[in-house]
Chain A
Amino acid sequence: MGKNKIRRTLVEFSVRRPKLVLLLVGAVTLLFMTQLPRMKTDTDPKNMLPATSGVRVWNGKVEKTFGLYEDTIVLGITNGKGVLNEGTLGRIKRITDGVLTLKGVAARDVSSFTTTDNVTVDGQTLKVGPLMTDVPKDSAGMGALRRDLFENPLFLNRIISGDGKATAIYIPLEKGANGKEIADRIREIVKREGGGGDSYYIAGDPVARDTFGAEMFKLMGVFSPIAGMVMFAVAFWMFRSFFLSFAIMVPAMVIIIWSMGLVIGLGYPIHIMSSMGPVFLMAIATDSIHIFNEFYFRYKEKKDRRAAILETMDAVAVPLIYTDVTTAVGFGSLTLANIIPVRVFGLGVGFGTIALLLLSFTLVPAILTFAGEERLERAALKEDAEAGRASGLLRRLAALGVHRPKTVAAAGLVLFVIAAIGTSKIIVNNNLIEWFKYHSAIRTADRVLNKSLGGTSPGYIVAMANDDDFIKTPEAMNYLEGLQHYLERKLPVVGKTASVADYVKRINRVLHNDNPAFDAIPGNKDTIGQYLFLFGMSAKPADLDNMVDYPFRRANIWVQLKTWDAQAMRDVIRAVGQYKKAHPIAMEFKPAGIAYFNLVWNDEVLWDMLKGFVTALVVVFIILAFNFRSFKWALIGYVPLLFTILVIYGVVGFTGKDFDMPISVLSTLSLGMAVDFAIHFVSRFKRRLFALKAGEDGAPGKEMIADSLLWTAARPGKGIMRNAVLFAAAFSVMLFAPLTPYVTVGAFIVGMMMLSSLLTIIYLPALITLLSGWLFEGGLSG
């Protein structure tokens, strides 16, 4: 076969001219390395969707229409004895003054006690001005401030909590400002104040996002080398040879540089997904362990280094090619995604995997020629499939399947059903804040603020009428008010809503000597128009602009959510739909804002991944069938893979962990990795059986099948276990990451490797034994 010939030529060439091969690989690596310094990072989740995506265009339009800020930091201040005391108020005033001087802060629209305008009435006089100019010095002044705060529904749960123990300063950011840097400056300001029993909490999407970005960068720099070192240590423990451990690491390092070089060279920034690329590549590179594993057995039999290399490469070539191709397909399917960072990640890792395949037939044999004969001798002595401890254990595991196939199959079935039940409990959700650990400053801040105030996750419902000035009609105003009430009453996640109707009611009441009876929408359009004009004379222009567009055709309802769950906004949208159905009006309602973006993004990721998952499933099956030249064997090879994923989903379902972006991405690419062991096992098993039968016709005997299964488990099985342990070891490092997506990835991969290797060693022998009649119907190739 032509393919085989190319492969053999490559291997022979590499064994003959190892130095040239090393030199060539080194040169190419240097070339890719020149790209690395051009690296840029991008941590804005908005860029997960292209700038032209519907939701981003629409959100941009809404922001422009209502003069809204994309990003707002919330600084929460709490005091167990209440924030309305001289000390705390003085600190609020000084902190606000400090915040106003920060670069990147949209100072004109910072909302705090000293910057928020308030309209009150005193006898016949309307008072317009900042809620608090100076800290009240006496109890009368303090009482007045308390009244102003609690009697104004616009303030309650926004800048003062119901129990008076919490307040917040809302700090909008100019476009392009870095949320983490500003948050750090705010922390400095707050630190200077300190004391007095006040606690400070900094929350909001930009802080979370940019903190995540900074941490991600650190992780990439810290965890990739640690993962590398762990792999090196584990490899040394397995082979007791520095040379060999080193030889395993070299291809890993090379493909990391190639892949990162390619991604950066193509001009893509590094996102959270691609920042995990190096660890993935390192783990995938452990595939070359099958070469070393086999080489040592062969060397012991042959005692000729060169011949052992060539024979080894012959024996492992087919499974190596197919495992790498399936892995590449798993990652490659990600390039079908709409989510750009996922696409880039798939491209980078897919490319690295193919590069690894090339290196397996060039660099690895070349490196092997440098192994000292004496050292090989010593190491190879330990590699005895019959007597080795690890091999013995593997043999016993496989024997379980071979000798008690029905019990094993039944146990598997039970596990399958349980996992299926767990899978049905899965909740699809995404929550940016929960990407941080429970006790992290960011998540704590979010929790505290959501408990006491209206909510840190902002969403909008834009009401759109067909005619100018319609929003000024009592009909529209009453509708907005009714819809707000409905949302606040019906959905516990909605902490607070605000709309232009609140302003109208407020002005009406104030103009009528603060009489609560006038806390209502007036029945006349001109009155509403004049109230809004008066409001525009008394507040910052932005206050009105944030709520209505210029022609009074569109109104914006602010919906503060107490959770960053994508699900929350879906509930809001559904509730709006129900309200509209029950109360028809000539207005359309469209969601917008960060909460809406998170929802769209969540759905998009899921749909994308489902697409990728199905594609990978089909392609992997086709490759398997092609590899084994049989549908039946492809089905058998599929079992550990499907089983592994189902069990992991089952665990996700039972533990109540959200099925979020990291998990959905992992599901897709795990297909290509979890199938690897089955490919190695089935390929080597059939090869062994073929050799044993030595040309006899008909189906192989039961004994022969059992023997081959046990041999496969003990010898290539050892390679499988080594591969799984090494792979898992590299990823176990991620379990200690401070960000939960990394922990999720670590746990998922470790679980997947252990499960799929164990299933391959135990379950495949059981299935093959049980179904041997069906599988070997047409002889060996069956």
Chain B
Amino acid sequence: MRRFFILTVMFLLLAGNAFAIDGRAIMEKSEAAFYYPGRDFKARMVMKLVSAGGQERLRELTMLRKNYGHPGGPQKYFIYFFRPADVKDMTFMVYKYPDRDSDRWLYVPAINMVRRIAAQDKRSSFVGSDFSYEDVSGRNVGDDNHVLLREEKLGGRDCYLVKSTPKKTDVEYGWKLSWIDKASFLPLKEEYHDRRGEIYKVFTADEIKTVKGFPTITKRTMKNIQSGHRTEVAFEKADYNIGVPDSLFSERFLKQPPKRWIE
């Protein structure tokens, strides 16, 4: 009887863990909340690139996104640049697939030319900012091993602290720590550590607003701790489920984007 009791307690203890959410599940929910809310999404954003010396560069753009399937499934992105002034009318389009490299196209208005861009490096910088392409459109949850380290409060909010270690060494960092808000499943903070274990980049969600019922990070910063460079992104307008048509994601509209979708 005593033995049975001990076994029961042990089972309950182990099961206690099983009932709780694991690292991978958290990150899947986070992916859905962060990169896939709504059927589609549109935001006008200003990116401020700030050098260690305090110099600033601005990028202003409209980003449209449309989901094709469940969270983690295919997506299409359309980006139109307003600033800097000399790149006005430049557009950029991404077809994202869950199981292979994305397709990207760029339109260069000065020479009226669309070029496909083979992205061998998902980790390279997005328009010179501290965000990588992956940071903008999301990284495959299956590419990393996720471990829930603990639960802790961050800025008064209850968070899961998850450590994600890439399965392959084709990325520039060693592992990432994410503080995932228990309520919204949005990442409030991410720390990238390089392979030496030194902290390298830090992402922070600086402002969260609820738009059409979707908690949305409307201000965010990615700071490169080692170089001192940082990028601040602010959403000036954000909206969900506005009925972005499939036809927008085409070479024709890359060259001549309809005003109503980009303004």
- A contact residues vs B (CB 8 Å cutoff): 64-65, 67, 100-103, 106-109, 117, 122, 124-130, 133, 174, 469, 472, 511, 522, 524-531, 533-534, 536-542, 544-545, 549-551
Q: How far is the CB of B79 from chain A (nearest CB, A)?
A: 11
Tell whether, in the assembled complex, residue B55 and residue A550 are in contact, meaning their CB atoms are under 8 Å apart.
Answer: yes
Contact B109 A530 (CB under 8 A): yes
User: In whole angstroms, what is the CA distance A528 to B85 when docked?
Assistant: 12
A100: B residues at CB distance < 8 A: 195
Q: Are A125 and B115 within 8 A (Cβ)?
A: yes
For B194, give its contact among A67, A107, A126, A537 (CB under 8 Å): A107
A122 CA / B120 CA spacing, docked (Å): 13
For the complex, what is the distance from the CA of A526 to the CA of B203, rounded to whole Å?
Answer: 33
Instruction: Please measure, in the bound complex, the distance between the C-alpha atom of A544 and the C-alpha atom of B198, giving whole angstroms.
Output: 25
Q: Is B25 an interface residue (CB 8 A)?
A: no
Name the contact of A536 in the complex, choosing from B51, B125, B198 (C-beta under 8 A): B125
The contact of A538 among B111, B124, B194, by CB within 8 Å, is: B124
Max chain B CB contacts within 10 Å: which of A65, A67, A122, A472?
Answer: A67
CB <8 Å contact, B124 and A128: yes
- Is B113 within 8 A of A529, CB to CB? no
Residue of A nearest to B55 (CB): A550
**Among listed B144-152, B155-163, B221-229, interface-contacting one:** B221-229
Chain B's nearest CB lies how many Å from the CB of A16?
69
Given contacts A130-B120, A130-B121, A472-B86, contact A511 B115 (CB under 8 A): yes
Q: Which of B77-115 contact A (CB under 8 A)?
A: 81, 84-87, 90, 92, 106, 108-111, 113, 115
Query: Could you list 8 further interchain pairs (A-B, Cβ under 8 angstroms) beyond the known A103-B196, A550-B49?
Result: A65-B53, A117-B124, A133-B120, A511-B108, A526-B109, A530-B90, A533-B127, A534-B108
CA distance A533 to B81 in the complex (A): 11
B171: A residues at CB distance < 8 A: none
Closest 9 CB pairs of A and B: A529-B86, A129-B120, A536-B128, A550-B55, A527-B110, A64-B53, A129-B121, A125-B116, A533-B87
Indicate whether A537 sits within 8 Å of B125 (C-beta atoms), given known contacts A106-B226, A511-B115.
yes
> Is B7 interfacial (CB-CB < 8 Å)?
no
* Pair B117/A101 contact, Cβ less than 8 Å: no
Taking CB atoms, residues of chain A closer than 8 Å to B117 are 125-128, 538
B121 near A530 (CB under 8 angstroms)? Answer: no
Known A108-B226, A126-B117, A174-B226; contact A533-B90, beta-carbon cutoff 8 A: yes
* Pair B86/A526 contact, Cβ less than 8 Å: yes
Residue on A nearest B201 in the bound complex, by CB: A108
A545 to B92, CA, bound (A): 23
Q: Shortest beta-carbon distance, B94 to chain A, in Å?
A: 12
B-side contacts of A102, CB under 8 Å: 196
In the complex, which residue of chain A has the Cβ closest to the Cβ of B115?
A126
Complex CA distance for A100 and B173, rounded to whole angstroms: 11
> Do A545 and B116 contact each other (CB < 8 Å), given the known contacts A117-B124, A530-B110, A537-B106?
no
Partner of B127, one of A107, A511, A536: A536
Neighbouring A residues of B118 by C-beta, 8 Å: 122, 125-129
Q: Is the CB of A101 within 8 A of B116?
A: no
Flag whether B57 is at the interface (Cβ < 8 A).
yes
B56 at the binding interface (Cβ < 8 Å): yes
A128 touches B127 (CB 8 A): no
Whether A128 lies near B129 (C-beta < 8 A) is no
Interfacial chain A residues near B194, Cβ < 8 Å = 107
Q: Which residues from B are CB-within-8-Å of A128? A: 117-121, 124
- Out of B55, B106, B119, B129, which one reaches A65, CB within 8 Å? B55
Quote the shortest CB–CB distance from A511 to chain B (angstroms).
Answer: 7
CB distance from A101 to the nearest CB of B (A): 5
Is B236's CB within 8 Å of the partner chain A? no
B129 touches A541 (CB 8 A): yes
- In whole angstroms, how far apart are the Cα atoms of A126 and B113 in the complex? 12
Interface contact B51-A67, CB-CB below 8 Å: yes
- B86 contact from A67, A127, A530, A538, Cβ within 8 A: A530
Contact-size category for B = 35 or more
In the complex, chain A residues whose CB is within 8 Å of the CB of B81: 533
| Contact present for B125 and A541 (CB under 8 Å) | yes
Number of A-B contacts (CB under 8 A): 129
A126 to B121 alpha-carbon distance, docked (Å): 13
A101: which B residues are within 8 A, CB to CB?
195-196
Contacts of B124 in A (CB 8 A): 117, 128-129, 538-540
Q: Which residue of A lies closest to B103 (CB)?
A: A125
| Interface presence of B52 (CB below 8 A) | yes
Residues 158-213 of B at the A interface (beta carbon under 8 Å)? 170, 172, 194-196, 198, 200
Contacts of B84 in A (CB 8 A): 529, 533
Interface residue? B126 (CB, 8 A): yes
B residues in contact with A130, CB < 8 Å: 120-121
State which of A106, A107, A511 has its C-beta within 8 Å of the C-beta of B111.
A511
Interchain nearest-CB distance for A322 vs B (Å): 56
* C-alpha spacing A524/B194, complex, angstroms: 41
A529 vs B59: C-alpha distance in the bound complex, in angstroms?
13
Bound CA span A443–B142, Å? 51
Q: List 18 A-B contacts (CB under 8 A).
A: A67-B51, A100-B195, A101-B196, A122-B118, A126-B117, A128-B124, A522-B110, A525-B86, A526-B86, A529-B110, A530-B108, A533-B87, A537-B92, A537-B125, A537-B126, A537-B128, A541-B130, A551-B55
A543–chain B nearest beta-carbon distance, Å: 10
* CB-defined contacts of B85 to chain A, threshold 8 Å: 529
Q: Given the complex, which residues of A lie within 8 Å of B111, measured CB to CB?
A: 511, 527, 530
Please tell me if the beta carbons of A545 and B86 are within 8 angstroms of each other in the complex. Answer: no
* Least distance between B225 CB and chain A CB atoms (Å): 11
When distances are taken between beta carbons in the complex, the residues of chain A under 8 Å from B87 are: 529-530, 533
Instruction: For the complex, give the distance between the alpha carbons of A128 and B127 in Å.
Output: 13
Q: Quick one: closest A residue to B108, CB to CB?
A: A530
With the chains together, A695 CA to B53 CA distance in Å? 81
Determine the chain A residues whose CB is within 8 A of the CB of B86 once the complex forms: 469, 472, 525-526, 528-530, 533
Contacts of B170 in A (CB 8 A): 133
Interface membership of chain B positions 19-60, coded 1 if the CB is closer than 8 angstroms to chain A and 0 otherwise: 000000000000000000000000000000101110111000
Report the minimum CB–CB distance from A535 to chain B (whole Å): 9
Cα(A551)–Cα(B49), bound, Å: 12
Report Cα–Cα, A1/B56, bound state, in Å: 75
State how many angstroms separate the Cβ of B51 from the closest Cβ of chain A: 6
Bound: A392/B56 CA distance, A: 82
CA distance A540 to B123 in the complex (A): 10
Closest Cβ of chain A to B214, distance in Å, is 29
Q: How far is the CB of B49 from chain A (nearest CB, A)?
A: 8
Q: Is A67 a contact partner of B125 (Cβ separation < 8 A)?
A: no
Question: In the complex, which of the residues A65, A125, A524 has the most CB atoms of chain B within 10 Å of its own CB atom?
Answer: A125
| Contact in complex: B56, A550 (CB < 8 Å) | yes
Residues on the B chain within 8 Å of A537, using CB: 92, 106, 125-128
Smallest CB separation, A346 vs chain B (Å): 38
Q: Which of A124, A550, A551 has the most CB of B within 10 A?
A: A550
* Alpha-carbon distance between A538 and B55 when the two chains are bound, in angstroms: 21
Task: Choose one: A122, A542, A549; the contact of B227 (CB below 8 Å).
Answer: A542
Of chain B, the residue at the smallest CB distance from A129 is B120
Query: Which of B52, B57, B106 interacts with A534 by CB under 8 Å?
Result: B106
Are the CB atoms of B116 and A550 closer together than 8 Å?
no
Partner of B115, one of A103, A108, A124, A533: A124
**Chain B positions within 8 Å of A133 at CB level:** 120, 170
CA distance A358 to B55 in the complex (A): 60
Complex Cα–Cα for A174 and B196 (A):
14
Task: Give every chain A residue within 8 A of B110 (Cβ-Cβ).
Answer: 522, 524, 526-527, 529-530
A125 to B105 alpha-carbon distance, docked (Å): 9
Q: How far is the CA of A130 from the CA of B124 in the complex (A)?
A: 10
When chains A and B are docked, how far (Å) is the Cα of A106 from the Cα of B118?
A: 28
- Min CB distance B104 to A, Å, is 9
Task: Give the Cβ gap from B229 to chain A, nearest Cβ, in Å.
Answer: 7
A528 to B72, CA, bound (A): 38
The reply to whether A67 and B128 form a contact with Cβ atoms under 8 Å apart is: no
CB distance from B146 to the nearest CB of A (A): 24
**Chain B residues, CB < 8 A from A538:** 117, 124
Contact A64 B52 (CB under 8 A): yes
